[in-house]
Amino acid sequence: MTAGSRLRQIGWAAALLACLCLFLGLSFRVHAVKSEVQLAERQIIALKRETMMLETEFETRASQRQLADWNAVEFGYQAPRADQFLENERQLASLGSPRGPGAPSPIRVARAETPGDAKEQQPMVSPLTGKPVELAIAREVQEGNGFADAFGELLSEASPVRSAQARTMLHAEVSE
Kindly give the interhelix angle for 163-175 and 147-158, rounded to the nearest 10 degrees: 160
* Rounded alpha-carbon distances, angstroms, from residue 159 to 63, 146, 155, 164, 173: 62, 20, 6, 10, 19
User: Which SS3 state, helix, strand or coil, does residue 95 take?
Assistant: coil
Domain assignment of residue 46, yes or no: no
- Tell me how far apart the alpha carbons of residues 10 and 16 are, in angstroms, rounded to a whole number: 10
Domain assignment of residue 105, yes or no: no
Domain assignment of residue 151, yes or no: yes
Domain assignment of residue 65, yes or no: no
- The parent domain of residue 154 ranges over 132-176
The answer to whether the beta carbons of residues 86 and 96 sit under 8 Å apart is no
- Structural domain tally of the chain? 1
> Given this model, what pLDDT does residue 145 score?
54
Domain assignment of residue 22, yes or no: no
Q: What is the pLDDT along the chain (176 residues), one digit of tens a residue?
A: 577 788 889 999 999 999 999 999 999 999 999 999 999 999 999 999 999 999 988 888 777 777 777 777 777 777 788 888 888 888 888 888 777 788 778 777 777 666 655 556 677 777 777 787 776 555 554 555 556 666 666 666 655 554 445 445 545 555 55
Domain assignment of residue 171, yes or no: yes
> Given this model, what pLDDT does residue 98 score?
78
> Given this model, what pLDDT does residue 163 score?
44
